[in-house]
Structure 1
Amino acid sequence: MAVPGMPIGSPGMEAPDGRRDPYDVLAFDKRGRTRVFAHHT
């Protein structure tokens, strides 16, 4: 799993003002294909 771009508000990227950008968590299969696993707003 991966969260491309390290968006503000994702785990480890918390903003001091509480701002959160929407982001997708991607899952990879054995062939390297990706799909959206979860969307956070």
Structure 2
Amino acid sequence: EALMASLQGIFKLSDEQLNAFTADFEARLPEYLRKALHLEAAAA
């Protein structure tokens, strides 16, 4: 959440651009990190 707010504030990204960045970033992660990321998000 804090990272996304910083990216929007510094680079003036739109929500659409931020969503594209997030999807691209997650797609580049190893599978075990993607799974861990989604498990943590579901628990929050």
TM-score, normalising length: structure 2: 0.24
Larger RCO (CA within 8 A; separation ≥ 6) = 1
The structure richer in strand per residue is 1
The structure richer in helix per residue is 2
TM-score, normalising length: structure 1: 0.25
